[in-house]
Amino acid sequence: MIILDGKALSSQIKSQIKTQTQELKTKHNITPGLAVILVGDDPASHTYVKMKEKACKEVGFYSIVHKMPESISQKEIEETILMMNENPNIDGILVQLPLPSHIDTTRILELIDPKKDVDGFHPYNFGRLVQGLDTFAPCTPLGVMELLDHYKIDPKGLNVCVVGASNIVGKPMMALLLNRFATVDICHIYTKNLQSHTREADMVVVGVGKPNLITSEMVKEGAIVVDIGINRLEDGRLVGDVDFENVSKKASYITPVPGGVGPMTIAMLLKNTLKAARKRIHS
């Protein structure tokens, strides 16, 4: 069994991005800029945003966080996004989800200029992803693909079961795998007999936010297991959606939680922002 170490790979990627950012500054006087909108006081959201800020600083990006109160109006958020769309120093715009219930999240995400949509959530970018065209792919599924590539795991011809059908993880994960000629089976909360799907798969990719959802009986011997879930237990421990201790005994490759897909998400956000900044050279 081989551990897919996202922590080590993300450090490697960040180091490359730092070098490439320095070159961009030296040759073209361009500093990649990332703007984040953070609404309310959700502790998890604040933690994620701090991690993103720290990562930007590490690689030499310019970053700004617009912190807004829970009571902020739809109009005020929209005006901030329109302002950032026009700002030539901002290459990437990221809205930290979830937003408060009174905000129309779809409308907010659709307002972001697709050229600055480094989260890959805009319908324009998602459509291009499904068609296999160059675009910004959502960071978590993109991080999974990067991890597979690093460990020379080729999805072509594999039967892959994706558990979770969210717009942020499951659906783009399915599209990325299909584009690499995997045969993809996607499951969700209404799937009957989940085990009958996961047990037949060469690779199981899960991201639903339910501790120990995937047990050893649910995977076949030698399966590749990618755990995108992150859950905090009452005792404070962070765990994924996979019963790591028992599933790892059967898996050929497995991601740990923490230290697997999580660090890759931020590395891909940086990669997407650098990609957006490079487009300034020819504009």
Secondary structure, 3-state, the chain = CEECCHHHHHHHHHHHHHHHHHHHHHHHCCCCEEEEEEECCCHHHHHHHHHHHHHHHHHCCEEEEEEECCCCCHHHHHHHHHHHHHCCCCCEEEECCCCCCCCCHHHHHHHCCHHHCCCCCCHHHHHHHHCCCCCCCCHHHHHHHHHHHHCCCCCCCCEEEEECCCCCCHHHHHHHHHHCCCEEEEECCCCCCHHHHHCCCCEEEECCCCCCCECHHHCCCCCEEEECCCEECCCCCEECCECHHHHCCCCCEECCCCCCHHHHHHHHHHHHHHHHHHCCCCC
- pLDDT, residue 159, reads 98
- pLDDT, residue 140, reads 97
For the chain of 283 residues, list the mean pLDDT of each consecutive stretch of 10. Answer: 96 98 96 95 87 94 94 95 96 94 95 97 96 97 98 98 96 98 97 97 96 96 96 89 96 96 96 96 79
Q: List, in order of start, the domains of the chain with CATH numbers.
A: 29-113 (3.40.50.10860), 139-262 (3.40.50.720)
- pLDDT, residue 47, reads 87
pLDDT tens digits, 217-256: 999 999 999 999 998 888 888 899 999 999 999 999 999 9
Residues designated catalytic: 52, 96, 119
- pLDDT, residue 148, reads 98
- pLDDT, residue 191, reads 97
- pLDDT, residue 12, reads 97
- pLDDT, residue 272, reads 98
